[in-house]
Chains A and B, each alone.
Chain A
Amino acid sequence: MILLTRRATFSASHYYWNESWSAEKNERVFRRCANRNGHGHNYTLEVTVAGEPDPVTGFVVDLKWLKGVMEREVLAAYDHKHLNLDAPEFKHAIPTTENIAIATWKRLEPVVTAAGGARLSRIRVYETPEIFAEYRGPHEQVSVRGVKDRGEA
């Protein structure tokens, strides 16, 4: 099996705010990220697909096709947008880097799966060169001894 990764960048603004908390708690937990006027990042997105090279083309997937899918499904929604205000998935979920990785998976997985070649393996989102989050799909469950599983089926 081959893992193939395509990288793209997008620039977006966001803020962290939990509507069910007081302003004081939001500011204490999220600190600078709670500024309601927002702030922004140049994000780097890495999309990894897994599969076998096609016997004729030698491709796991056509990279040009993958680029188009990433542009249509993700960059069109996130690039030069305010994530809290412009992306419907963050109307009620906080656009942390973790949640952006999960939301990106949900946007891409049906399209990659429907194409029938490779499967989506991993989404990595860099908020800065030093901070990133990764999501490997809903099959991965959190298992902590003595703690009820919080993962989704």
Chain B
Amino acid sequence: MKAYFGRRYMLSASHRLHTPALTLEQNRLAYGKCNNEHGHGHNYFVEVLVGGAVDTETGMVVDLVALDETVRTRVLDRFDHANLNLDPLFADRVPTTENFCKTIFGLLRGALPAGELEHVRVEETENNFFECSARG
């Protein structure tokens, strides 16, 4: 029996949307206030959805405490209260929430204690969110 287990986490981080591939003026046009020179920050909500068989002994797809530990060590410890632009994973990529979502997906895929990563959803504000799924 396949089901999905979902868990939401919060992390606070700063970023600046800016690419050296564009001029200063082009960056301002492309990113607007997100291009502010000294950056800005968000409380990001990260939703992790794990798909898999419901274990017949425990009734669980994945153990919540083990999942929390994986997300904490691979994602929260790395990005919470950090500047995303300074992380090596964003050395060559703009830390848009699209790229942040793909990065988190890559850090968790293959590292889960059980099941398969179905999707990662990152909410940057209450009004915008991004999803990255195993289906591409």
Contact = CB atoms under 8 A, between A and B. Distances in A.
- Bound pair: A and B? yes
Interface of A: 16, 18, 20-21, 29-31, 93-99, 101-102, 124, 129-136, 138, 140-142, 144, 150-152
Contacts of A132: 5-7
B4 A133 contact: yes
Contacts of B9: 130
Most chain B beta-carbon neighbours within 10 Å: one of A97, A98, A102, A141: A98
Chain B contact residues: helix, strand, loop or mixed:
strand
Interface of B: 1-9, 49, 51-54, 56-61, 63-65, 116
A45 B3 CA distance: 15
Contact of A134 (B49, B58, B65): B49
Given A16-B59, A18-B58, A96-B60, A135 B3 contact: yes
A30 B59 CA distance: 11
B57 A18 contact: yes
A152 B54 CA distance: 11
B86 to A, nearest CB: 28
Contact of A102 (B3, B8, B51, B52): B3
Contacts of B1: 102, 138, 142, 150-152
B59 A134 contact: no
Contact of B59 (A31, A99, A124, A140): A99
Q: Which 9 A-B pairs have the closest CB atoms?
A: A94-B59, A96-B59, A134-B4, A150-B53, A142-B53, A130-B8, A132-B6, A140-B2, A98-B3
Nearest to A105: B3
Contacts of B61: 98, 133
